[in-house]
Amino acid sequence: MKAVVQRVSRAEVRVDGNVTGKIEQGLLVLLGITHDDNEEDLAWLIEKIIHLRIFPDLQGKFNRSLLDVSGSILLVSQFTLYGDCRKGRRPSFDKAAAPEQAQTLFDKAIGMIRQKSIHVKTGVFGALMDVDLVNHGPVTFILETPAKKG
């Protein structure tokens, strides 16, 4: 599982010109899911994201988490995070999870975030979306779940 996490002062996603999700201060999370991802991977990633200390304290140091600042999450599914561009000119998406598996885990991610009492908005799974954001900092991190052994 991969996530691109951007600290934002605002972000929104539109489908067919209609806003489906909009937040103010918080995180825009682009979530990519691969074949062997499971709920354990998802739980690890959600915990990492919400506790990541990437918001400034009074001295301007990264010491505060999303929870500390009462921020929101705009969660957007993005299978292209598993696009392989190493060969040829057209990306291969062989490593991206099948839509049914990805949607199941995406929906579980929404539930896990809500269980932490975090305000979460989303795009529409599988839709062509327009994402608008103000990346505050800019601050952007790429997170991946630990490699599986076995």
Q: Helix, strand or coil for residue 86?
A: coil
- Which of 6, 34, 55, 79 is catalytic? The answer is 79
Query: Any idea what DSSP says for residue 107?
Result: H
Does the annotation mark 80 as catalytic? yes
- What contacts 133, CB < 8 A, 6 or more positions away? 6, 8, 10, 11, 12, 28, 74
Is there a cis peptide before residue 138, judged by omega within 30 degrees of 0? Answer: yes
Phi, psi at residue 147, to the nearest 5°?
A: -65, 140
Other CB atoms closer than 10 Å to residue 118's CB: what's the count?
A: 19
Does the annotation mark 78 as catalytic? yes
- Which of 6, 34, 55, 78 is catalytic? The answer is 78
Does the annotation mark 141 as catalytic? no
Q: Which residues are catalytically annotated?
A: 78-80
